[in-house]
Amino acid sequence: MSRTDSVTPPSRLNVLWHTWRFHLNILLLLIPLGFMPKYFADASLFRGDSGLGEREIGEVQVGPWSLRLAELRNEAPLLTGPAGYMKGFNAALCDSCREQVKATYLRIGKPRSLRAAGVIFFGTPYRMGALLPIPEKTKADAELWITMEGWDGSMHQAAVPLNQASPATVAWLNKQGGKP
Amino acid sequence: MIKVLRPLHAALLVLGVGFSASALAHNPMCECKAIDADQIKCTGGFSDGSGAPGVTLDVIGYDETILVPGKLGADSTVTFKKPGAEFYVLFDAGPGHVVEIDQADIEAPGT
């Protein structure tokens, strides 16, 4: 603000600003309140208070073991940089398999081998997370394959149809058309 | 005083945003191209922009035999002769950090 404009009469805008700026600042303080519901919903989702994820897929039997699977967000895959579209899944191992399961993997389509079993779940067995890349050319009738590896060296697999695992992803695939 | 600090704040904000994004995700990435009729060049890396020198990249047949065992060079690339049998490329940066590229998804030379 320059100090020389006291010579000229203050403009209408200037008067309005000086009259209302205090109230405007109070309004500015109120803006964050609008974001609070989303903030608390996210905080509760990531803390696990509102369940494993936004949409529970249910209990999936994988050989002698089972796990509870959920979509972190009930929405289409997100473009996360150069690695392409990603979709977050969460899982919790069954009570009896926590001690037995060494690793859990997730992949679209049947894995060719244990080495290529897909992305690995991170975190505690009570609440693990994995970020699954969704190729744009995925077919809408694809299956989500879960591979579990035990400390005893055994391996078990199970598949969940993608339209059951993530209807939002299938809707997204259908909408953008089957890429070659 | 405040005017002097302003560009500094902007720079800090840009730095903060930059670093948080790179910390968010570093998914493995791999791209393969046929450079001529029988040579294929694969480049590996991570989505945060870092390279992958020394990371395993195997060429595996559909029958699960390893046709060409390899490691990426200092420039994060490896070039191999196209196998006669059906194959896929497996960029293997550790369990759960793999990228598979089927032979059908490898671009022909000149495209």
* CB nearest B95 (choices: A80, A120, A133): A120
Residue B13 pLDDT: 56
Note whether A85 contacts B: Cβ–Cβ < 8 A: no
- Chain A residues in contact with B60 by the CB 8 A cut-off are 112-113
A1's CB contacts (< 8 A; 6+ apart) are none
Instruction: Find which of B17, B22, B30, B47 to mutate to test the A interface (most A CBs within 10 Å of its CB).
Output: B47
Note whether A88 contacts B: Cβ–Cβ < 8 A: no
Question: Distance between CA B109 and CA B63 in Å, rounded?
Answer: 26
> Could you tell me the sign of the dihedral formed by the alpha carbons of A96, A147, A158, A168, in that order?
positive
Q: Which of A107, A119, A129 is nearest to A52 (CA)?
A: A129
User: Where would I find the H helices in chain A?
Assistant: 12-47, 162-165, 167-176
Helices (H) and strands (E) in chain A, counts: 3, 10
Residues A75 and A30 in one domain: no
Residues A41 and A66 in one domain: no
Residues A99 and A157 in one domain: yes
- Which tops the pLDDT comparison, B110 or A125? A125
Residue B108 pLDDT: 79
Question: Distance between CA A104 and CA A89 in Å, rounded?
Answer: 12
Note whether B25 contacts A: Cβ–Cβ < 8 A: yes
Residue B21 pLDDT: 41
Q: Which of A53, A69, A61 is nearest to A165 (CA)?
A: A69
Question: Distance between CA B80 and CA A42 in Å, rounded?
Answer: 47
Which run of H or E residues covers position B4? Answer: helix B2-24
Range of the domain at A15: 10-50
Residues A37 and A65 in one domain: no
Residue A4 pLDDT: 55
Whether B96 and A112 lie within 8 Å, measured CB to CB: no
Asked, for residue A56, whether it belongs to a domain, the answer is yes
CATH number of the domain bearing residue A107: 2.60.40
- Encoding tokens for residue A100? 């037995």
Residues A46 and A56 in one domain: no
Note whether A145 contacts B: Cβ–Cβ < 8 A: no
Residues A43 and A68 in one domain: no
Asked, for residue A1, whether it belongs to a domain, the answer is no
Is residue B14 very low, low, confident or very high in pLDDT (cuts 50, 70, 90)?
low
Residues A86 and A143 in one domain: yes
Residues A56 and A23 in one domain: no
Q: Residue A45 in 3-state DSSP?
A: helix
* CB nearest A81 (choices: B28, B47, B90): B47
Residue B20, pLDDT above cutoff 50: no
Residues A29 and A41 in one domain: yes
Q: Which of A21, A175, A87, A57 is nearest to B27 (CA)?
A: A87
Residue B109 pLDDT: 75
Whether A133 and B27 lie within 8 Å, measured CB to CB: yes
pTM: 0.79
pLDDT in tens, B22-46: 445 678 999 999 998 889 999 999 9
Q: What is the ipTM of this complex?
A: 0.74
Q: Which of A106, A50, A87, A110 is nearest to A167 (CA)?
A: A87
- Chain A residues in contact with B29 by the CB 8 A cut-off are 82-83
Note whether B47 contacts A: Cβ–Cβ < 8 A: yes
Note whether A113 contacts B: Cβ–Cβ < 8 A: yes
Whether A80 and B96 lie within 8 Å, measured CB to CB: no
How many domains is chain A partitioned into structurally?
Answer: 2
**Positions in chain A short of pLDDT 50:** none
The pairing of beta strand B56-61 with beta strand A78-79: unpaired
Residues A104 and A57 in one domain: yes
Residue B102 pLDDT: 92
pLDDT in tens, B51-85: 999 999 999 999 999 999 999 999 999 999 999 89
- Chain A residues in contact with B64 by the CB 8 A cut-off are 112-113
CA of A131 vs chain B CAs: smallest distance (Å): 9
Question: Distance between CA A118 and CA A112 in Å, rounded?
Answer: 10
Question: Distance between CA B95 and CA A18 in Å, rounded?
Answer: 63
Whether B100 and A86 lie within 8 Å, measured CB to CB: no
| CA distances (Å), origin A53, targets A11, A45, A90, A117, A122 | 56, 7, 6, 23, 15
Residues A56 and A44 in one domain: no
Question: Distance between CA B50 and CA B26 in Å, rounded?
Answer: 8
